[in-house]
Amino acid sequence: MSFQHTLEGLFNKGKAKLDELTNNRPQPQPQPQYQQQYQSQYQSQPQHQQPQYQPQYQPQYGGQPPPIPSSTKPQRTPSPFIPASTRPSPSTSPYWQAAFNPQTPISTIFQQETGAHGWGNAESQNYTTDPRNCFFTPDNKLVLRAICDSSPENKYTSARLISHQTLDRQRGSLSATLTAPCAPGIWPAFWLLPSQPFTWPDDGEIDIFESWNGDCVNHSCLHWGHYNGADWDKHRVVETPIPDMGQRAHTFELAWDQPGNGEGGRLVWYIDGRPVMKAGIPRGTRRISDWRVILNVAMGGNVCGGRLPGEGWYDFVVHELRMSAEPAGGWGRFAEDFERAREGKTM
């Protein structure tokens, strides 16, 4: 046998042995398939313990929207959020509380504003009355859903609601427990404007919660002037980082106290029971009892720097919305909070 044939024989024997070992090796067990599900994880807030909200609940409209895109991290690293303080129980029952009953239409509580005219901020969404964009869940929550669809004729749709109920009193407290979307091009808000007709901005605007462009920061604001040199001092703002904004519910509250003549008064903004901003009610603005609640999710626009959301849907979940005759802890606590809370900065 030639040297070449010897090498070929050795090679063939080695290959046969390797095939035998491979065939006799235990086969790996098939791995289970895991479907990643988006689920809000939040802790119960003082006096506002809520069951889990499942975003998989969706109105039927010919198929599910695409998955929610992952929000990018803010370009700047926010300061740590100070944990909520222990809050005393409310001393009075609410004088108004929204009932999120899936058996009743949205219009029983809110006026649904519609339109795609930019809303003064070059926004891209079309506000609709479509039940895809706003609905009550079976576990009694209100969902405002902003949808970015692949359809070019109906690319951006969302909801904007104004309460039929006004604040109605010279002094009181308005609070909402919210789980808010936090993503580029998305701008959810819980805020107040005077009843129609009114003159903006002279009659005033109060923002209790708003966040935009995935910054996971709440912007507590008071406005009663235009954004120009002459009105530079007619704005108050405090920014509060909330890194887990999109993962769990937080309670946002405004307490007010205004004299009977409707001139002046005091405001305190709270997040999870902690006072984060104070301001005097500007003279010349509308009487606070005439103001109404607004909830909406804008898409794109000036405040988002022209950024638009990716395809998918973005849920703004309202767990509770109520008006009370006094803030938690009573008016004595309010007076203390007004003394120690921060003044808003000018813009």
At residue 20, the pLDDT reads 52
Residue 29 in this model has a pLDDT that exceeds 60: no
Residue 38 in this model has a pLDDT that exceeds 50: no
At residue 229, the pLDDT reads 82
Residue 58 in this model has a pLDDT that exceeds 70: no
At residue 136, the pLDDT reads 98
Can you give the pTM of this predicted structure?
0.77
User: Given the structure tokens 């898409």, which residue do they identify?
Assistant: 299
Classify 35 as helix, strand or coil: coil
- For residues 24-44, average pLDDT: 33
8-17, 89-98, 126-135, 246-255: range with lowest mean pLDDT: 8-17
Residue 107 in this model has a pLDDT that exceeds 50: yes
Residue 52 in this model has a pLDDT that exceeds 60: no
- Nearest Cα to Cα of residue 45 among 274, 269, 327: 274
- For residues 61-68, average pLDDT: 43
CA distance 291 to 205: 9
- For residues 157-186, average pLDDT: 98
Q: What are the residues facing 324 on neighbouring strands?
A: 94, 173
Of 227 and 246, more confident = 246
Of 83 and 267, more confident = 267
> What is the rounded radius of gyration, in angstroms, for the C-alpha atoms of the chain?
27
CA angle 72, 342, 162 (to 5 degrees): 60
Fill in the amino acid letter for 331.
W
CA distance 33 to 286: 58
> What is the set of domains in the chain, with CATH numbers?
95-103+115-340 (2.60.120.200)
Beta strand segments in the chain, E? 94-97, 110-113, 126-127, 134-136, 142-148, 156-158, 160-166, 171-179, 186-194, 205-210, 217-223, 235-241, 250-257, 266-271, 274-280, 291-299, 312-324
At residue 15, the pLDDT reads 52
Number of residues written out for the chain: 347
* Assigned token pair, 346: 């000018």
How far from 161 is each of 80, 107, 285, CA to CA, in Å?
32, 9, 23
CB atoms under 10 Å from CB of 258, counted, come to 20
